[in-house]
Every structure is written in C-alpha cells, then in structure tokens.
A and B are shown apart, each in its own frame.
Chain A
C-alpha cells in the first residue's frame, strides 16, 4: 500500500511517471572530498539510469566510486568533507540535489532505500531487530508500537526468516550473517521503496548464502516492481540477476551495456580485462589474466583517460584527451577512443 499522506508539494507522486524520464537518472555527477592531502576526486562525471522493475549492476574495482555515487543518491554523504560541484540526480525527473533538506528526507529511506555491505556493523547492536524494522513504520507512518511490530513480523516472514515471531526480540548479534542481511533487507523494503540500492550486499557472506540473498533481492524486485541498483565487484554474481551493467573506473563510467551484450562483446579495454580475469572452467589450468598496474590515485588522476597507464590499447591521444562516453548503440556506450578496436576483438 502506497501512503499518499507523505507526499509533499514539489515532490513527484509515486508511480506518476514523467514521459521519457527514467525512474532514476544520475547525470554527470561529480563528488570530491576535501582532505588534508588535497582534493580527492572520487566521482568524476558519472551517468547511469534506472527504470522501474529494472536491475542495474554497478561494477568496478575498489575505490572506483561506486559507494560514493550511491551515497550521493541517498543523500547520506557527510558534507563537508564531501562536495558535489556538478551533476544531477533526477528522481521521476526532479533533481534531488536541488530539493530542500525537508523534501529530501521524505524520499530517503521511504522511496529510495539502501542495503549496506556488512549487516553486523550496519545494524545497531543495542536495539532488537524488531525495534529497528518497526522504527520505519513508527517514525514515517506514525503507527502504534503494536501495529508496527506486526508489520515487522510480516516483513521478517517476507524475507524468509524462520520463526520470525519468536525472533523479533532478538538482537543483531544473535543472528547468522545471512539472516542479518535479510533483516537489513527487510528494513530497507519496509516502506515499499521505488528504488533499492544494495551496496555489495553479499560480500561478507559465504557462497551459498550469497546466492540465496541475490535470489531474495531479485524476487522482491519483481514482486514490487522496484528499480534495483546492485553494487558489486563480482562479475559472476551479476550475470544472473542484472538487466544492465554500468562499469566504473576512477570515478567515471567507462561502459554502459545490457548485461548479455557486455559479456558477449565488451566495449572498453577495462571491461575486457575484467571479463578475462574471471576464472573459467573451460580454461582450467591456464594462467589467469590480471589487469596490470595500480588503480588510479584520486588525488592525482592521470591526464586524459584515467585507464591509459594500464591500457593495452593506448595511443598518444589517450594521455591527453579525456574520452567522452561514446554512444555505441541505443543501449550501449563506452568511454574509449578506440572502442571499435576493442569491440572487434582486436588483439592487445
């Protein structure tokens, strides 16, 4: 049930789609951190978009700015040290960055929600899980203690926590890792958000549990037609659940593509390297490919294309000209001057 009472003037109504506008669109987003060592350019012009019911996987190595982008969408960056010098985050066509704090807080947690990586540290250790889930209903919907509690049990059932009724008064540390992540998910979907951002929701879990959590997320997304942003650096996880992929490198999107197109035919040298570094059964015994070199230093980004020092396709131009996001087709784009070469499977 969508509750219309929380909608404020100036905010888009739930489900009311502006024509030609995706549910969520990040457009040329820049985020920098002002630190003692200087200005760290964590996000340098990220653009991606998400439609209702769609799953977007955001992929990239550690430090590439995946989480910072997500936190910017949520509006939970600490400013300072963070600053957003440019860019738009449009939700139903409304730029969230231009909203007042009050309007923004109507969206945070209620219409755009987030699941964090390590549920043990992301849940408050001194409150019961029931309390933490019920808080969403009590604070945002003004429900009574008893009603909110009933809702919490329902949610725990929905994310398939066995014996929800008995376990509602337990504390986070009394659950296993997988169950804790389910609680985190229950809490985030409590108010039926339109967008759910899951930031490496399975990294802290073992493989079988990882699969179950991914399955749960996919199922919930389908049931309620949410848009799901799945942040990960595990290409293997992505193939089964995602519709499209945004690959990040050095705070930029280097490639946007539907998931199967990308696997079949990567359009950026970095993506190609990533794909080749996945262990494959049919190539067992062969040495695994690894992208050479180090991730970029955000305080001193390389000139031109940030990937050029590590790129097997590089030319002189790459060190001077920042590649724009070239449109390859209606659904694909690549930030490589020589994407055609990569595309044709040209040799390294």
Chain B
C-alpha cells in the first residue's frame, strides 16, 4: 500500500504539470496587459513598463516562462504579484477559510445526502421517496447565486429581524463556525442532490444483491442486514464521490465566497483574474489541483479498506 501511494504521488506529477501548464497558457492568453492593468486608468511610464516586463520575464517565450514558474514551485516559491507581494503571503489564511468552507459543505453533503438517500432507498416508491426526489430536483434547479441571496435574506436578515434569533451571520467569517453554515449549505446544494440520488441507487442495488438475501436467510434482523451487510458495500461508490467532491467544492467556492464575503481563496481567485494577477491565479490553481490529487489518493486508499477485492501492489 505504501509503495502504491508513492507511485500514485509520482504519477500525480505529470498531471500537475499538465494542468498548471494549461492554466498558464489560458491565463496568459487572456486579453489585456497585466502590467498596463497595474496603473488602472493612468498610463504608466514606458521605461517603468519595460523594467517590469523584464523582471517578470514577460518578453520571454511562454515555455521558458513556464519553466521558471515550475522551477520556483518545486522549491516552494510561487513567485510574486506584479505589485511585488509574494504569492505565498497572499495565500496566508485564505486556503484555511476555503478549506473550512469546503469541509463544512462536505459534512453537510455527507449527512444530508446520505441520510436522504437512505430514507429514499428504504421507503422506495412511497411518498417519502417522492418527496426526496422532489427536494433534490429543487436543489439542483436553483442557481447557487439565487440560493445564496435568498438564504441570506430569509435566514440571515429576516429571521433575525422577526424573531431576534441571530443564528446565521449574513457575511464574513467573524462568527467562527456559525459563519460557515449558510455558505456551506449553498456550496453543497448541488452535491447534496447528487449524493442523495447516488446513495439511493447504490443502496437499492446492494439490497437486491444475493448476499443480502443470504443475510436474511441466516436469520439476521432487518437492522443488522442494513447496518452491517448492506451499508459497507453501498458506501464504496459514495466514498469515491465524496472524496472527489472535496476538490470540486474548493473550486466551487468562488461564487459562494463572493456572495458571503468570505476572505477565502475563491474570492482571491476572482479578484486576481480581474486584476490580471497571473502568478496568483496560476498559484491558486496549482494548489487546488494538488488538493484534488491528494483527495483522490486518499479515496483510493479508503477503497482498499472498504473493499477487500481491491489490493494495491
């Protein structure tokens, strides 16, 4: 297993290089000159522009620039912004916020998604099943932007005004864990819907399996059949989805963080794209890809724990 983990990490290197190169090309292909953007509406002194362009290798060919960048990343240097601030300093605290947001969303997703999926599977074809299906359709059909603003208004503002209950802060992360509840839910919506459906399908399929019939024939109680014999088998595909989703949730934090004004990496990404801070954009994406790869590695390891038929050499 250890050997497998190392091999997987080595395999991750070309993936990392490929994705960062892609994002590198895209970012630098965006219209607009990053140096010119530094000055806002003012025109910058051409001599100053020339110095900056030289300093940031902007006159070098793309491949060479990419090489400088990769070399830096591997020694922990993500470069500086065009204003001279080290990118790692910009990262400070922001990944923590986004990670906390994504984890909140992931936990909500797991609890609500697995719970509703379980309910739907066990009450298959009855009104509970229909209700869960309706709820998931509702969740996916509301755009996160709308969901965010509506919840902000109802739970953040109106609830407080009408009842005095101050449970859900409207914006910022000053309230600690509580600040993440609303944005976490908004971020998790689509995933909750998807995981619910997946849980239902997986469980229904497992409950049809021959070994479940065997467990019943062994005289095991319904509870034991579900909790012991069915659960672990049906979890296998769900864990995969959950693990892969952590990466997506962190990437999806852009809109949510903007709506709820959370000082996380998503908001930073949004601002940096806007300001043409290419080094920051590429840096963030690099880290996100890394998170994604690590999450998938953990999933693969968990897989082997849950399913003994899978053995990694």
- A interface vs B, CB < 8 Å? 74, 76, 105-110, 113-114, 116, 118, 121-126, 128, 135-136, 139-140, 171, 173, 184, 187
Residues of A within 8 A of B307 (CB): 125-126
Give, as a whole number of angstroms, the nearest-CB distance from B219 to chain A: 3
Q: What separation, in Å, do the CA atoms of A128 and B214 have in the docked complex? A: 15
Structural contact, A116 and B220, CB atoms closer than 8 A: no
Structural contact, B209 and A76, CB atoms closer than 8 A: no
Residues of B150-185 at the interface with A, using a CB-CB cut-off of 8 Å, are: none
A101: nearest residue on chain B (CB-CB)? B222
Residues of B196-219 at the interface with A, using a CB-CB cut-off of 8 Å, are: 209-211, 213-219
Given A108-B218, A140-B219, A171-B309, 17 extra CB contacts under 8 A: A74-B217, A76-B217, A110-B219, A113-B217, A116-B213, A118-B210, A121-B209, A121-B210, A122-B214, A123-B211, A125-B309, A128-B308, A135-B220, A139-B220, A171-B308, A173-B309, A184-B214
Structural contact, B213 and A76, CB atoms closer than 8 A: yes
Give, as a whole number of angstroms, the nearest-CB distance from A308 to chain B: 35
Does B273 reach chain A (CB closer than 8 Å)? no
Does B306 reach chain A (CB closer than 8 Å)? yes
13 pairs across A/B with beta carbons < 8 Å?
A76-B213, A105-B221, A106-B219, A107-B219, A108-B217, A113-B217, A113-B218, A116-B214, A123-B211, A125-B307, A126-B233, A139-B220, A184-B214
Does B57 reach chain A (CB closer than 8 Å)? no
Q: What separation, in Å, do the CA atoms of A138 and B210 have in the docked complex? A: 22
Residues of B209-244 at the interface with A, using a CB-CB cut-off of 8 Å, are: 209-211, 213-221, 224, 229, 232-233
- A105 with B219, Cβ < 8 A, contacts A121-B211, A122-B214 known: yes
- B interface vs A, CB < 8 Å? 209-211, 213-221, 224, 229, 232-233, 306-309
Q: What separation, in Å, do the CA atoms of A213 and B216 have in the docked complex? A: 24
**Total cross-chain contacts (CB, 8 A):** 64
Give, as a whole number of angstroms, the nearest-CB distance from B230 to chain A: 9
Give, as a whole number of angstroms, the nearest-CB distance from A254 to chain B: 27
Q: Which of B211, B217, B306, B309 is the most central at the interface, judged by chain A CB atoms within 10 Å of its CB?
A: B217
Residues of B within 8 A of A171 (CB): 308-309
Residues of A within 8 A of B209 (CB): 121
Q: What separation, in Å, do the CA atoms of A122 and B214 have in the docked complex? A: 6
Q: What separation, in Å, do the CA atoms of A187 and B217 have in the docked complex? A: 11
Structural contact, B217 and A114, CB atoms closer than 8 A: yes
Residues of A within 8 A of B220 (CB): 109, 135, 139
Structural contact, A116 and B221, CB atoms closer than 8 A: no
